[in-house]
Each structure stands twice: as C-alpha cells, then as structure tokens.
Chain A
C-alpha cells in the first residue's frame, strides 16, 4: 500500500500542483489542496488514479472557492499569484499584468470549460477528461472547442481594454 501511494505521489504530485496553481493562482493553496487529495487517496485507494486525483482536487477547489467567496478571500488570491522571477522590474511587471489578464480571461469561462482546458494542458486524453469531469467522451471535443474560443476571445477583450485604457 505504502509503495503504491508513494508511486502515486511521485507520478502525479507535480502535475496536480501545477493544475491547482493554474486554477487557483496560489502556490501555497495548491500545495495544501494536493496534500489533502493524497490524504484522501489513503482512505479510498483509487483504481484509476489520475482522473480520481484530479477530480477530487477540482471538487476541493470548488468547495474551497465557495468558502472563499463567503469569506471575501478572492482578492488575496489575486495578490498572491505573483510569482518570484528574475527579470528586471519592467519585464516582471509586464509579465505579472499579462498573467493577471490571462487569469481574468480564464475566470470568465464556466467551471466545466475551464477545468477541461486545465486537464488537457496536463496531457489528459478525452477518456480521462470525461472520467474526471463526469462527462460523455463525445462531449469533450465540443467542450474544449468552446473553452478555447472563449478563453482567446476573453483574453483579446482584456488586451483591447488595456489598449483603450492606455
């Protein structure tokens, strides 16, 4: 059992944290949520680990997100998203702004579309995305197509707003 779980951790932890970081914008929170996911895997060892781990993680994000909205914590999450970097101040600021625009664009997507995109970015195939999100495999192409289009449109809108403002 220990060997199985250790292997699970070694294989999926980084990918899980990366997905959670992209979803929440908060590295510490992503780490905490990942720890919780693996703790739950101890209680109910999954047969198909990857979809299971990511589905539990996304459920936790949703639950945590609802609590965060109630507690007014969203602004803190945005503030915490700025990563450490090694650029000069101008380049760093520009990249932070760019990341914030992408995050705002991603936030305009409905939950399912956003999650499908993030899972695809982790190398999930359609079967795995369908299993993780509880969708039919036949719906994944449409979901991803809609999600990509909306994300790009929303980002372009953000870019347009920025140029108008400046």
Chain B
C-alpha cells in the first residue's frame, strides 16, 4: 500500500474516516513509520492552527486565559436585545417583501442549495448514545484524581516521549509556552461554550433532554463500576492504538486540542489541558455500545455544553 495522503490523515485526526475504511488505515499506520510521523506532524499543525484561529477572539471581548467558566448573564441580556432587534428586522423585511411584491434577494446558488441539502447530516454510521444521554461518573472525581495523579507520576517517570502521547512533564519542560497556549486556547473554547450555553439552554431543558434514558446502571451496579474505575491503572497510548482499541471511533471534543491519551485495560482517556487543571474525556466499549463521561474543573453548565461537542 502506498503512503497515506495528508487529506486522509487529517480526516483521521478529525474523526471523519468511515468505520469500514478505518481498519486498512490503522493497519498501514502500524507498519509505516513515515506515515505515523506525518500523522504526528499534522496533529501538531492542527493544534497550532486551531489555537491561532481561536486567538482571533469571538467579538465578545472575553479576556484570554482567565480559566474561569461561568454563565455570562451580560451576554444573555445582550442576546435578548439582539433578539428584539432581529425580530424588528424580520418584521421589516417581511413587510417590505409583501409591499414590493418580491421575495428578499437571496443568491440563486444558495436558493438551490437550500432545497438540495439533506434535511439532516448523519455523521456516525453506528449510532451510539450521545454523551448527554449517558450516565456521568463525575462523582468519582476525588478518588480518581488521586489515583490518576499517582499513575501519571509513575508513568511520567518511566515512559519515553511517544508520538501523540507525550507525558505532561515532558511537554511542560520542552515547550511550556506551547502547553500554556493550548491550555489558554482550551479555556477560551470552554468559555465560549459557556457563552454559547445560553443558546443551548433551551435545548438542554427540552423534553428530549428530559426524556433521555435513565442510567441503566444506577445503584449497586453503578457503585461497582465506579469502584472498578477507581482502581484502574492508566498508561500513555498512541492515537492510532486508541482508535483501534475503541473499534475505529475515538470520541474527541470538537474544537479542543488534546494533550495526551491514556488507556487502562478497558478505558481510554483523552486529556485536555486547561489553565485550571485537566478536562478528562473517558470512553469504554461495553459490547456494541460506548460509555462516555466527561469531567474537569469547570462548572456543570460548561461541562454540559462540552458534552454536546463530543464527536
């Protein structure tokens, strides 16, 4: 097999490779150091490019890198005012349209697209429960953070830097500015998510969200799961191996740049740096389904918004 092209590797990083094609790609990567090297280069480029785009800001004058994610009431008020202004625009536009007897001008190409586009875009071939629909294991955080910190210390002391799975200490020593920038960027993204939460709030409180299936494993089973998780031992894992372990689909938080990946016998962790700590996206395969949880040192509102960005 010839080498993988950059477009394919970029699609792999973005989680856009169809599951039926993925095995041949991961198989090639396992045996091709050149492609693995290119994949790592593209991963770094993606992180840096995303960071640059995010640094342009959002037009809402959010201070960069505050590390504090709270619902922004002033933004909501502004949104209400904009809604009123927009409603006025709508009324005026519709009125003018009726008065002139012509529809408001829309580029012909877009009119064609508006009718040609599918009603919904299906990303996932094998539908699994979304993160919002799955039980959270956030309550295990105190136990797990202690165990995870011990694991990370042991792993960092023993592990060599590996492509796509560099231990945090290595990154911090070699490129503190890069890590700080990634953390600041992730914090900013998280903050933007919190700002955007006013837009999502209605949906989060919708009957669909309320009707999400109750966690099947509450009670003793849930306690048992948490106990198992608490004693799991995690070690660094490469991106390609993590994808393979998850059966071809590794969930990531859209718009955030992971710092590293870790794996235990049953669970994969994708870890994102924040200025205030780490955001941990955990996923494990249980039969044909995937259990996903997200935790980190940010508000429940922000976590809820970020859960919706897991792809």
Contact = CB atoms under 8 A, between A and B. Distances in A.
Given A56-B110, A128-B121, A152-B48, A83 B14 contact: no
A98 B118 CA distance: 40
A20 B113 CA distance: 21
**Which label, helix, strand, loop or mixed, suits the secondary structure of the B interface?**
helix
B52 A155 contact: yes
Interface in A135-150: 138-149
A96 B202 CA distance: 35
A47 B121 contact: no
Given A30-B59, A42-B90, A42-B94, A48 B16 contact: no
Contacts of A131: 113, 117, 121
Given A30-B59, A145-B10, A51 B90 contact: no
B129 interface: no
Interface of B: 5-11, 14, 16, 42, 45-46, 48-50, 52-61, 63-64, 79, 82-83, 85-87, 89-90, 93-94, 97, 103-107, 109-111, 113-115, 117-123, 192, 195-196, 198-200, 202-203, 254-255, 309, 311
Given A48-B117, A56-B107, A142 B6 contact: yes
B55 A99 contact: yes
A126 B14 contact: yes
29 contacts: A9-B86, A10-B79, A14-B79, A17-B58, A20-B59, A22-B53, A22-B57, A31-B59, A38-B86, A39-B89, A42-B90, A42-B93, A43-B104, A44-B111, A48-B117, A48-B120, A52-B110, A83-B57, A84-B61, A99-B55, A127-B122, A140-B16, A141-B9, A143-B7, A145-B10, A145-B45, A148-B46, A149-B45, A152-B52
Given A43-B103, A126-B16, A142-B7, A13 B79 contact: yes
Interface in A1-46: 5-7, 9-15, 17-18, 20-22, 25, 27, 30-31, 35, 38-40, 42-44, 46
Contacts, number: 198
Given A55-B113, A152-B52, 17 more contacts: A5-B90, A6-B87, A11-B200, A13-B79, A18-B60, A38-B89, A38-B90, A39-B89, A40-B105, A43-B93, A43-B106, A46-B117, A47-B117, A131-B117, A141-B6, A145-B45, A151-B49
